[in-house]
Chain A
């Protein structure tokens, strides 16, 4: 079936990660003829979400393929529950939604019950949040791609202070309501936050002109904030550590504060069914505007040649077929080494972990969706981003939570992250029904990912290399990079103009019979879904 794949395109995109997918959508949207390939059988590459079965396959694949381990390594999966329950559990199958009040009796999970509900899991390889007024949200709205996705608001931001979890007051109302800070502190905090939001670019440069080589912490101390407040602003709001440069801290704070009040109590949105949906939304738009999609299609060789008219043509060998295009957009993990110039410098890799637990890290009336920025435990450590999502996000079955840890690697994923896991989870296994203070960890996965997020230049003008996922909280760098690549391919063109709603597409001609409705061959010809 693959063989009726057309061979000539203006743009070929290889890899369905976030950056690649945005570029594909943008090119297709303005009328470029786009082919989008992926060597794997699913969308997203390292940005994908997997159900529990898919995740098991992913782990097996990586563990058995040394080539894959150049991207993902140190994979360690561990169960904290039995394979099968000793006695047949009484209420098998569909758990009816609990009616009435109070906690339903805690279900005892087994490895088999995970497997039975594998489809209800959507576990992210690259979990990320969206700032409510960040570039991705604005792009989704302005391009009308928002209609392909749904979101939930992050309901709370937590921090780790004095050896326990504390909610971070986000909004003005929160600041006034919180009992964690005193009256005088409240006024101080409000003043500080209000002034940061108020600065425009110029004022910011003025106010902070002497702070270029100083840290944000020094600035906050200078402003007379108490240690408590410094912790809230630096760690929880700016997401920084003691060494965070002042200007960066101010900018991060401003970004946080500017995104408040648009959709919920916190500045953040989480995509339903996981971050892996987002590249697919852009792929859908690309397809709607005629982009051709083909997964399971590895490429073997890439060459650039100059045609007689001086134009560069990129040729790609794939499954004994030669594909031609004017521009090749390719994910860094799929890209032949000789096209990358120069080899990207060694960077700090990323340590990640996923936990499945039987309760939230901090009890809450309604199902919470939590961001926790865990400050470094020691000076050698990095801050850890913790995201906890529940069944309402389509991430897991009822009664469970999925918790993601992300940090810059120091030693390896398990050594970097286990100490923090032990602080907020009960990692001892054992009786799941016991009423423990901390939720029980039922399953964990630690892994390291090579950081391929630095922008990379290619050896040819018509080849554009897309970076991999970064350790950052949001998608901003991916969006920014996609726009830059698009501008190189289509200079002067609008980046993802609004796609019309179906209601807005009006057909001018009345019902007239088109060409004869018949097809001799099995398969359609042409690029569009002509049926």
Chain B
């Protein structure tokens, strides 16, 4: 099967219920904003392929499937993720405070070098704002994570947020490959990550059942 992309990145959306994770996902993948269909169909993840510096990057963006509601995200959700969007709602103080808890959760379960980014969503609702942009920026500085305010409804910054995260992952990946290439040696067993550029010698020895 011909590969239609150079890289495949698994990204996650994390944050409290109701902050707009699914809306952000749909804005980015479908360029749509419509709540009615979101709640009806079982959405696992959405895919969008973007062009980054001449490379086709396939983004597979996973939604929490509502398992964040009572803090019951499965550890399996974090496996193999390369980038995480931490989302809060600027009109909801609690969701902002919880970002710290979510970061702890990520540190516990995701790979140590996962790229992260904080999104303050619903920034179109200026009248209801509870969390100032400065506080968002401050939090981001504290954790040394990039930050941007978004509006899935008005299609503000959603696009650039995903591009930024994808670019950071790509840069990290290429740096890693450069570092490991001179040695040229593969260590025993296959890499746990998707490595589209280097196909494992035998797909049989590590297989997804698909």
Contacts and interface: CB of A to CB of B under 8 A. Distances in A.
Contact of B79 (A273, A367, A511): A273
Interface in A225-274: 263-264, 269, 272-273
Contact of A517 (B23, B68, B76, B192): B23
Interface in B25-83: 30-47, 63-72, 74-77, 79-80
Contact of B209 (A42, A43, A141, A366): A141
B208 A284 contact: no
B43 A505 contact: yes
A153 B204 contact: yes
B206 interface: yes
A515 B36 contact: yes
Given A507-B32, A514-B33, A100 B209 contact: no
Contact of A524 (B18, B40, B47, B206): B18
Contacts of A43: 74-75
B65 A281 contact: no
B47 A503 contact: yes
A529 B183 contact: no
Contacts of B183: 99-100
Contacts of A281: 76
A442 B3 CA distance: 45
A290 interface: yes
B100 interface: no
Interface in B124-149: 125, 128
B207 interface: yes
A518 B125 contact: yes
B1 interface: no
B189 A366 contact: yes
14 contacts: A5-B70, A152-B206, A269-B207, A273-B79, A280-B74, A292-B70, A511-B33, A519-B18, A522-B94, A524-B69, A528-B39, A529-B21, A529-B38, A530-B35
Contacts of B94: 522
A531 interface: yes
A294 to B, nearest CB: 4
Contacts of B70: 1-2, 5, 292-295, 297
A287 interface: yes
6 nearest A-B residue pairs (beta carbon) = A392-B189, A529-B66, A146-B209, A99-B183, A287-B65, A514-B35
A106 to B, nearest CB: 15
Interface string A381-414: 0000000001110100000000000000000000
Nearest to A1: B70
A263 B46 contact: no
B17 interface: yes
Contacts of A141: 209-210
What secondary structure prevails in chain A residues at the interface with B? loop
Nearest to B17: A524
Contacts, number: 188
Nearest to B94: A522
A149 interface: yes
A245 to B, nearest CB: 32
Contact of A531 (B20, B80, B205): B20
**Interface size class of chain B, counting residues whose CB lies under 8 Å from the partner chain:** 35 or more
A392 B185 contact: no
A43 B75 CA distance: 9
B19 interface: yes
Interface size classification for chain A: 35 or more
Contacts of A391: 189
B92 to A, nearest CB: 6
Interface string A498-531: 0110110101010111110111001110111111
Contacts of B180: 97
B34 A511 contact: yes
Pick the most buried of B19, B208, B209, B210: most chain A CB atoms within 10 A of its CB. B209
Given A281-B76, A284-B67, A507-B30, A153 B209 contact: no
A367 B205 CA distance: 11
Nearest to B110: A119
Contacts of B33: 511, 513-514, 517
Given A394-B192, A517-B35, 4 more contacts: A288-B65, A292-B70, A367-B189, A529-B39
Contact of B185 (A99, A152, A527): A99
A72 to B, nearest CB: 21
B150 interface: no
A148 B76 contact: yes
Nearest to A521: B18
A531 B23 contact: yes
A509 B206 contact: no
Contacts of A511: 31-34
A272 B189 CA distance: 12
Interface in A476-508: 499-500, 502-503, 505, 507
B65 A284 contact: yes
A470 interface: no
Contacts of A75: none
Given A272-B79, A288-B42, A515-B36, A263 B18 contact: no
